[in-house]
Structure formats: C-alpha cells, structure tokens
Amino acid sequence: MGEQFPWLAEYSVGIAAIDGQHQRLVAMINELHQALLARRSREVMGAILSQLVDYTELHFTFEESLMARYDYPGQQSHQEDHERMRAKVLALRDEHQAGRTVISLAVMAFLKDWLSGHILGTDHLYKDFFQQEGLR
C-alpha cells in the first residue's frame, strides 16, 4: 500500500536537519494512518499520537531556537503559529486519551493539512533568510 502522505520535494526548506525532522513527522502521520487502516487498538493509536506530539515539540523547539539564534525577523508570528499548532495536537491527544474521540480519516486529513500547510506556508518564509545566513 502506498503512503497516504508522501514526502514531496517542494516541502524542502533547504536545511538538512529541518528537512529530516519534517520527514520524520510525515512518517509518523503515515504510521498513524496505516494503524487506522489496520484497525489497530486505541492503545496503539494513542502511543503513535503521543510520539507525534512529543516529536512536534522537539521540532518546534529546534526551529524556535534557530530563529532566536539568527534573530529571524518573522520569529514572533512563527512562534504564535507553533502555539496554535501545539494546542491543536495536544487537544487531540487529550480527547483521544479520554476516550472522547477516535482517529478517523477526517482526523488524518486534518493532521496532513496541519503539517503540510505549516511547512509550505510559515516554514517556507524562513527559507531564503536561513539560506543567506549560510545554513544548509
């Protein structure tokens, strides 16, 4: 079965470490989708979702420290975008843990848009800036 959320070349922000982190987030969303299609248990789904939330935090913190170190002008609005994204996946994880929601195809579509929309929008805004700072 093909991946539901394939990595596209256009997702690249030109920085190897960040592309690697984005690829890992994409892989986790694919893993959750595969688990859904395989009708895995709530516990298994919850564990994958929890890993996704934890790795999201690691990735956002990495980007935020990079933006701070280089004094990126768009830092504030980028961070606010991260805060909104954090709140959404934390709420999803909490609702799932409490048994008030299930991972559905609609939730998978939301997660795919949640990540790809941010990469192609807000993350791509720092591409030229970091490129000029010599990051690869």
Cβ at position 38, least distance to Fe ion in Å: 28
Among the listed ranges 44-52, 93-101, 118-126, 127-135, the one in contact with Fe ion (CB under 5 A) is 118-126
Give the C-alpha distances (Å, rounded to integers) separating 20 from 25, 38, 40. 9, 27, 27
- Is residue 123 near Fe ion by the rule CB under 5 A? yes
> Residues 136, 31: contact at Cβ < 8 Å?
no
Q: Would you say 55 or 101 has its CB closer to Fe ion? A: 55
In this complex, which beta carbon is closest to Fe ion, that of residue 30 or of residue 123? 123
Cβ 97 to Fe ion, closest distance in Å?
25
In the bound state with Fe ion, the residue whose beta carbon lies nearer, of 63 and 107, is 63
Vertex 116, ends 112 and 120: CA angle to 5°?
165
Q: Angle formed by the axes of helices 16-37 and 105-120, to 10°?
A: 170
Report how far residue 35's alpha carbon sits from residue 37's, in angstroms, rounded to the nearest whole number: 6
With binding defined as CB under 5 A, does residue 126 bind Fe ion? Answer: no
How far apart are alpha carbons 128 and 124 in whole angstroms?
Answer: 8
Stretch that binds Fe ion, among 3-11, 39-47, 87-95, 119-127 (CB under 5 A): 119-127
Return the CA Rg of the chain: 15
Could you say which residues in the range 44-63 bind Fe ion, by CB under 5 A?
Answer: 63
Residue number, 36 or 119, with CB nearest to Fe ion: 119
Residues near Fe ion (CB under 5 A) are 63, 123
